[in-house]
Each structure stands twice: as structure tokens, then as C-alpha cells.
Amino acid sequence: MRIALGIGYYSTMYTIAIELSGRGTGLSKVLEISVSDIMNPLVMTTRGFIADQTGLSKKSLKALELHQVDRLVLRDVSSFINLKGIVNGKFVVSMDHQLIRAIVRNFVMGNMTEDEIDEFIEDTLAECSNIILGNSIKKFPDIEEYVKIDSPMTISSQYAAFRYAETGIWTCAIDCSLGSVSISFISSDIVA
């Protein structure tokens, strides 16, 4: 069986036609997937993950409203993962230092100095991003098997911003007592 994809992009909605061929059926299935269908699982999975890693209650993690921006302002440490397939774009997790430090302490066994914690920050955020995205893709509506993820790239920088011409950037912040994390999706060209 061969699957052919025809995809269109309209504002914040992906329209995906999956044609099932090779069986002589001539049938196709049309899916409409909004950015919210992609972002909601990412935000919910992130809230649960941070609660599990820090011991904070999910209720104490306040997710702000999802909104579209022209420029993504990054927090202290950020991780970017490319998504390829039906949905092409970048998944971005950007965290305040205090929050990622708490997660590092939970990830790494034993007592650590502040300098030792700093050595693990980027690797820990990369692993967190992989876990969050991997668990979220399972919740994408009917497209899980058509989305592949690359390895994460991480950066540490204060006062950085990210602009990606001719794309849509959607973001949602999650605030807690240890700081904030921004979950973002940067939509790229859709390929058929």
C-alpha cells in the first residue's frame, strides 16, 4: 500500500489529504489539523513533565494563553527540535535558569555543586525536549506516524530573540514558583 500526501496550509489550519492507493480503492481521508491540535498536547505534556520532575503540583503550573508572535523571545536556555513529515516546523522549549536547575538536580543522582549543575543544563534540556515531544506526538490527531523528529539543538543566552521569516510562530508560557518555560511551534513550509 502506498500513501500519497497532499497538504495545504491556511492561516493556523493544516488541511491534509491522505490518499490510500495500491488497493484499487481510490479512497482518501482528509484531516484538518489546527495549530492548537499540535500545541495543546505539547503544553499539557510539558506541564505534567515539569510537575513530575520538580515535585510541583500541576495546579501550580499556570499555562498562559496560546498566541501567535512575530518574534520569539527566548529564556535563559532553549532547545530546538525540527519536525519533518506532514507537519514541518520547529518545536522550541525555552526555560529560566532556576527551573532547569531544579530539573537537573532531579535528573542527576547525588549532590552537585552549582558549577556541576551548569555543566548538565544544555544536555538535560535537550533530553527534556525529546521526552516532551516524543510523548506529545502520540497525542497529535491521526498523524503520529507521519511526523519524524530530529535531534535537539540547545543554546544558552540571556536576552536572545528568534525571528524566522515567512513562518508562523505560536507560543505558550507556563509559569510556576521556579520560573517559566515557553513552549513554541514555528511552522515551516509544508511539503507534499
- Which residue in 112, 89, 101, 109 sits closest to 38, CA to CA? 89
Parallel, antiparallel, or unpaired: how do β-strands 153-156 and 67-69 relate? unpaired
Write the pLDDT tens digit of every residue in 79-133.
999 999 878 889 999 999 999 999 999 988 778 899 999 999 999 999 999 999 9
Half-sphere exposure of 44 (CA within 13 A, CB side): 12
Look-up of cell digits 530546538: 80
Helix (H) or strand (E) holding 100: helix 97-107
Q: Which grid coordinates are listed for 102?
A: 531544579
The Cα-based distances of 97 to 10, 77, 94, 168 in angstroms read 37, 7, 10, 27
Which pLDDT band, with edges at 50, 70 and 90, does 43 fall under? very high
For the domain made up of 35-187, give the CATH fold. Answer: Chemotaxis protein chec (3.40.1550)
Least confident residue range of 8-12, 66-70, 151-155 = 8-12
- pLDDT at residue 13 tops 80: no
| pTM of the predicted protein model | 0.83
